[in-house]
Structure 1
């Protein structure tokens, strides 16, 4: 979990200075973009186009090897036909630059990258048709399949055994349950953690391992209109939660987040699952664990958001995006029960 006062707070003047110093860019426009732990800016330059400047938080900036692997993964995915951003080298030819700046809490070091800008809107802003959900599931499986082929000298940093966002580390949430004191949701979260331990963890030896993107959510998938009056996926963003996990984790994460932006959340699972299995068919233990893994991701999102708001109250609106919608959905999914949820999700996959 990120510690307090690590999130960068660069102002527009400091951003302009960085762009000129590192990339010899004179921006025509700088616009702040939403982010969780880091700081992102849309940058338009009259001489060379559009970019995204990403400034990592001070805590994550200490792990240069991890950021190197994430940066390499974006390029590797793009080279293998996936719509991802790539990194623009600095004037000195580096993909990462560690910059020391004072953003109001003393001098700290921040890793800075300039990324290509991908066109499109987030998938949260368009109708989630069964066809688009199918393609989303397919893309979630494809990216993990691509990562299977990836080699890098520091790939082991993706083990991330204490990473709170890994769906292999759900029981780490117990340390943060105090943020739900007095909230009826706390009993649901405790029950989900219990079922994760008793129903999911015993089956993990039979899960197929992979490297997960780890954050296949409604704000990290871009779409554009296709030639069939629908939408196609045009971009995959934010590789910051990459970790060694399981294929089934990626699917559970995608289902959970798409549920938060669909008018009938339970109906998300079927087409997403079908798309995923068109690339990577699940085994019985993976299928049997999907319901509790989806619930587990809801719990991660809700608990971590509540905790993060105590650290960054000024960023509460963004931090609570999923939480506001998720509370009602997780309660509905919990009350619906495993058997009924699986009847809907697996109906067209048998």
Structure 2
């Protein structure tokens, strides 16, 4: 997107598609799809996503239903801005230096001010408090999603390995682990998951879930307040936003929570915070707003184990097969996974769950 010709084409496309004059354009994160922060002449800021990945119309419509459901309840979400013709998605055409033409779907959303939990640089004390608020916000989100009535229940076919119930799939990537002892340990964790969780799947509640409720997608609008006190429901809606509904789907509720716990534990390890305490705070915040039943509580520990293991295995696999891998980017969420797995398995499920309840 740094090519001046492409940038000129993009600015022209935005003016034609959305009726906006772009004054400034800044690239944001995104591994496949391209995300850009736009500052426009109307004084407002927007995020433009250029969809490089395969476009699924039904999936996008389902996501829009979820976004609208959140927006009407006061959640800060990236609900798409309509094009000048009233469509939630537009198209942008580009040409390269060989004059080959490319056309990608795009959508424009309001910019949610603030920083993600991952980027905010919280210290250990702040992280201990923000974790309770992150959990509570997740519980509020899930309460809202329980009232979403949609007939569309689509899942991304390219995301199957990340659905926690499919965790055993990652066994095929164990060969990317060079250390034999570590490879054996990870395989044993997969075996334990199959024994402890797979038979319980029919008993677990399903509903619409965000799909990637993690520290990279949770925006803190007011850092000082969100990291210094436990927030009320009204404050949670005002001080926290949520991004990236690309993996929004109908699935197991408890695994949305365990995904959040795993990534927040990783951030805790980086920040010098207590990862077990952080996990417990997320859990306590979540269940205050959305109580778990006994079957869901039974699989929380192994859901966290599954995401930490999957994150590590998928990262080292990508490092091995990528042509020009960015190791810092690829491993930013998983380099602490093995350390955390050692902590969890050394303590054991019973002791960890007791610490999560009593701390």
Query: What is the TM-score of this pair, normalised by structure 2?
Result: 0.84
Q: Distance in 2 between matches of 1:157 and 1:103?
A: 34
User: Contact 1:167–1:245 at 8 Å: present in 2 too?
Assistant: no
Tell me, yes or no, if the aligned pair for 2:10 and 2:92 is still in contact at 8 Å.
no
Structure 2 gaps, min length 5: 230-235
Deviation of 1:329 (Å): 2.1
Distance 1:109 1:228 in 2: 41
Pair 1:200–1:148, CA change in 2 (3 A): same
Q: Secondary structure at the match of 1:277?
A: helix
For residues 106 and 17 of structure 2, what CA distance do their matches in structure 1 show? Answer: 9
Mapping of residues 1-350 of structure 1, within 5 Å: 12-59=7-54, 61=55, 63-99=56-92, 101=94, 109-124=103-118, 125=120, 126-127=122-123, 128-153=126-151, 155-158=152-155, 163-182=160-179, 184-223=181-220, 224-225=222-223, 230=228, 233-262=239-268, 263-309=273-319, 310-311=321-322, 313-348=324-359
2-structure distance, mates of 1:45, 1:304:
38
Which has the higher mean CA deviation after the structures are superposed, 283-292 or 174-183? Answer: 174-183
User: In the superposition, relative to structure 1, how do residues 272 and 228 fare at CA in structure 2: closer, same or farther (>3 Å)?
Assistant: closer
How far apart are the structure 2 equivalents of 1:229 and 1:132?
Answer: 5
Measure how far apart 1:85 and its partner are.
1.8
Name the residue aligned to 1:4: none
Query: C-alpha displacement at 1:161, in angstroms?
Result: 9.6
Q: Which runs of 5+ in 1 are unaligned?
A: 1-7
The aligned counterpart of 2:232 is: none
Does the 8 Å contact 2:266/2:334 carry over to 1?
Answer: no
Corresponding residue pairs, total? 338
- When residues 330 and 81 of structure 1 are mapped into structure 2, their CA distance, relative to the original with a 3 A threshold, is same
Determine the C-alpha separation between the residues in 1 that align with 2:172 and 2:335.
22
- Structure-2 residue corresponding to 1:5: none
Cα RMSD of the aligned pairs, angstroms, is 2.7
> Cα–Cα, structure 1 residues 320 and 66, in superposed 2: closer, same or farther, change >3 Å?
same
Contact conserved, 1:161 with 1:169, CA < 8 A, in 2? Answer: no
Structure 1 SS opposite 2:104: strand
**SS of equivalent residue, structure 1 residue 211:** strand
